[in-house]
Amino acid sequence: MNHDRPVMILDGATGTELGRRGVDISLPLWSTRALIAAPDVLADVHRDYLDAGADAITANTFRTHRRALAREPQAHGALDAAELTRTAVKIAREIRDTHKPGALVFGSVAPLEDCYRPDLAPGADDCAREHAELIATLVTAGVDRVLIETMNNLTETRAAVAAARRLAPDRWMVSFCTDTAAPPGTLLSGEPVEAMLDELRDASAVGVNCVAAPDVARQVAFLRKLLPDAVAIIAYANIGNADEHGNWVPTDAVAPDRYADYAASWVEAGASIVGGCCGTTPATIAAIAGRLREVQ
């Protein structure tokens, strides 16, 4: 196994785990509804991932940008994006501070539209403005890293990365959602990651997420060869599938021990930050932690 740098264990899914615990995660709010209706359950999810062995947890900000919240009918005015973002970070930081002070808190920055529909991505100006707004709030709320994740096209990625480079220099990372039927490094839009290589050279980490676990190792190997050694590679796969309405349907297709086998292969291929995406659970992260302890 590759031991060039210590391996950091990221947490697993937040949205699907909240759903598994009975929280309403229907669209458009997805996991954000827990900030309003079930903050204690969200805190328990963070705590359970830390107990499972996670070195970093991700604040529940995947859908706290203004665009997503505007789609939720409200009886008394619009939901406040900045307030919900700050609440998500506060919950994660409080659990970290009281439960595992050495852990990090990442702030999630997701695509503004559907993660699997790059054709729906807004134009460059809208992406720049909206991502900068969210990232600025994450930084002032106190995240340790800005995690731009599940990026599926170059226009939106460039906008989010530009904002992160300006607002969170030296503490941002980006993870792509790739087309597993195409050559490694191909985004769902059909565009190649290499096209923005120069913009990625000062990232803390670059990687792949929300793709099937068996396909991640070749994506990691490609990125490891593409990027400078100073840039860590991050990898976290999904378990399950999106239904016809865009909601996530978890499955037991990959048991925790089998997922841990995949995670070990990602480390072997060059990843040094590994965790879980949609469908994974604290048991998944515990299995990864156990597997990595065996080989390190």
Q: Would you say 178 and 219 are in contact if contact means Cβ atoms under 8 Å apart?
A: yes
Each residue of 117-174: pLDDT tens digit?
Answer: 999 999 999 999 999 999 999 999 999 999 999 999 999 999 999 999 999 999 999 9
Q: What is the 3-state secondary structure (H, E, C) of 206-222?
A: EEEEEEEHHHHHHHHHH
Q: Would you say 87 and 43 are in contact if contact means Cβ atoms under 8 Å apart?
A: no
- Determine the average pLDDT of the residues in 270-293: 95
Q: Percent of the chain at pLDDT above 90?
A: 83
What is the span of the domain harbouring residue 212?
8-295
Each residue of 63-95: pLDDT tens digit?
Answer: 999 998 888 776 445 689 999 999 999 999 999
Number of domains the chain is built from: 1
Joined tokens for residue 9? 């264990």
What single-letter amino acid sits at 1? M
Decide if 261 is inside a domain: yes
Decide if 24 is inside a domain: yes
Q: What is the CATH number of the domain that holds 159?
A: 3.20.20.330
Decide if 3 is inside a domain: no
Decide if 157 is inside a domain: yes
- Tell me how many degrees the CA angle 253-256-261 measures, rounded to the nearest 5: 95
